[in-house]
């Protein structure tokens, strides 16, 4: 490649939305990055490993609630409904609902088109009578539902406490956007992780095997690979703690020493001990989540929890 072509290629690399977000976050005080960027291929694999860790209770607890309460959940879903899942990922949770309820159509919405297509194909082999209408979209932005479900009752499905990654004001905005999309009379089933003992919370985000640390540090590896940065992963440390006043787990990457890193041709200085805030995972009480949902027009219809009250599934109705 000529020098000019190389310069032009690098300029394009540095013009992507990812590059813009990384530069903006690392120029801010305190430094921060969007949690959605954890999920490149390797990051998605690491997240799958996290869900199987002994300390990471949310996935296993929510699956338990879905299985134990499948019959009650099915009664909440009108016959012939379309189930619309936001950020469907592996569809393991939807399968439990789809087996129990009289759902006519399943609409998984996910940003990863390839994963979405392969999961839809797998699901249609297992449930040949179910109409599957995948939508490849970023569910945090406006998108259209398939015309084929226009006349069907709509039930939204948003498990995993993914809503916890949003700031509370953004979470309320998302719930309003879901209300507009699903329309009058809609139902919504939302999974929410609950506030609990600090030690249980912190262990879930700082496991003994170091998988969550690898997941957090992988963000720097991704920035190195995709944006040509030179982060030395040995010189950053994973940190996770419960910020009680803000009722959220925070994950950070802490600089072990004073250092400079080159990111998109910019020098980014770090003081020793300075951190990049990489994720917030908000925890709610049953009541605080119901109050948030009410701000967006959703009324509580039912709540299901596990015996330890670690996790909750909320059935909501749009007035
Ligand atoms: C996918 C956002 C629900 O906050 O528990 C797991 C992501 N981060 N371990 C969570 C995550 C670190 C997860 N969510």
Report whether residue 255 contacts ligand 1, using a CB cutoff of 6 Å: no
Report how far residue 188's alpha carbon sits from residue 186's, in angstroms, rounded to the nearest whole number. Answer: 7
pLDDT at 50: 97
* C-alpha distances in Å from residue 151, one per residue of 80, 86, 154: 10, 20, 9
Residue nearest to atom 8 of ligand 1 (CA): 205
**Per-run averaged pLDDT (10 residues), the chain, 319 residues:** 62 81 97 94 92 97 98 96 89 95 95 86 93 93 94 97 95 97 96 98 98 98 97 98 98 98 96 98 98 98 98 96
Report whether residue 191 contacts ligand 1, using a CB cutoff of 6 Å: no
Helix residue spans in the chain (DSSP H): 3-13, 17-27, 41-51, 57-68, 70-76, 92-100, 113-126, 168-182, 198-204, 211-227, 286-295
Report whether 212 contacts 51 (CB < 8 A): no
Size (the chain), residues: 319
Report whether residue 165 contacts ligand 1, using a CB cutoff of 6 Å: yes
Cα 62 → chain centroid? 15
CA of 2 to the centre of ligand 1 (A): 43
Report whether residue 161 contacts ligand 1, using a CB cutoff of 6 Å: yes
**Ligand 1 atom showing the smallest separation from residue 161 Cα:** 3
Q: Strand, coil or helix: what is 194?
A: strand
List the one residue out of 187, 184, 236 whose CA is nearest residue 73. 187
Residue nearest to atom 14 of ligand 1 (CA): 162
Report whether residue 160 contacts ligand 1, using a CB cutoff of 6 Å: yes
Report how far residue 286's alpha carbon sits from residue 313's, in angstroms, rounded to the nearest whole number. Answer: 9
Residue 86 neighbours by CB under 8 Å, 6+ apart: 109, 139, 156, 157, 158, 162, 178
pLDDT at 41: 85
Report whether residue 159 contacts ligand 1, using a CB cutoff of 6 Å: no
* C-alpha distances in Å from residue 192, one per residue of 142, 158, 163, 277, 287: 23, 9, 8, 22, 11
Residue nearest to atom 5 of ligand 1 (CA): 281
pLDDT at 307: 97
**Ligand 1 atom showing the smallest separation from residue 160 Cα:** 3
* C-alpha distances in Å from residue 123, one per residue of 67, 210, 213, 214: 18, 32, 32, 31
Q: Say if residue 30 is preceded by a cis peptide, omega within 30 of 0.
A: yes
For the range 45-49, what are the long-range contacts, defined as Cβ-Cβ under 8 Å and sequence gap of 24 or more? 46/211, 46/214, 46/215, 46/218, 47/215, 48/90, 49/211
For residue 266, what is the DSSP state? Answer: E
Diameter over CA atoms, the chain:
65
């Amino acid at each position: 490649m000529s020098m000019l072509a190389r310069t032009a290629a690098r300029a394009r690399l540095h013009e992507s939305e990812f590059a813009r977000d990384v530069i903006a976050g690392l120029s801010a005080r305190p430094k921060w990055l969007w949690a959605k960027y954890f999920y490149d291929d390797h990051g998605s694999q690491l997240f799958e490993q996290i869900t199987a860790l002994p300390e990471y209770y949310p996935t296993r607890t929510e699956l338990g609630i879905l299985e134990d309460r499948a019959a009650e959940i099915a009664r909440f879903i009108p016959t012939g409904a379309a189930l619309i899942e936001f950020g469907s990922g592996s569809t393991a949770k939807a399968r439990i609902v789809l087996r129990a309820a009289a759902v006519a159509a399943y609409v998984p919405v996910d940003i990863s088109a390839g994963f979405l297509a392969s999961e839809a194909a797998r699901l249609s082999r297992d449930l040949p009578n179910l109409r599957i209408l995948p939508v490849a979209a970023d569910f945090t932005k406006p998108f259209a539902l398939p015309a084929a479900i226009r006349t069907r009752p709509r039930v939204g499905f948003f498990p995993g406490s993914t809503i916890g990654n949003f700031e509370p004001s953004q979470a309320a905005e998302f719930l309003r956007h879901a209300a507009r999309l699903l329309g009058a009379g809609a139902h919504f089933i939302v999974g929410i992780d609950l506030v609990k003992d600090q030690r249980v919370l912190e262990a879930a985000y700082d496991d003994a095997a170091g998988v969550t640390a690898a997941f957090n540090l992988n963000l720097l590896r991704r920035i190195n690979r995709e944006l040509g940065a030179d982060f030395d992963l040995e010189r950053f440390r994973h940190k996770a703690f419960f910020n009680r006043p803000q009722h959220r787990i925070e994950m950070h990457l802490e600089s072990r020493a004073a250092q400079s890193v080159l990111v998109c041709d910019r020098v980014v200085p770090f003081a020793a001990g300075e951190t990049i805030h990489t994720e917030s995972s908000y925890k709610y009480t049953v009541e605080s989540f119901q109050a948030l949902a009410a701000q967006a027009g959703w009324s509580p219809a039912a709540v299901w929890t596990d015996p330890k009250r670690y996790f909750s599934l909320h059935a909501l109705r749009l007035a």
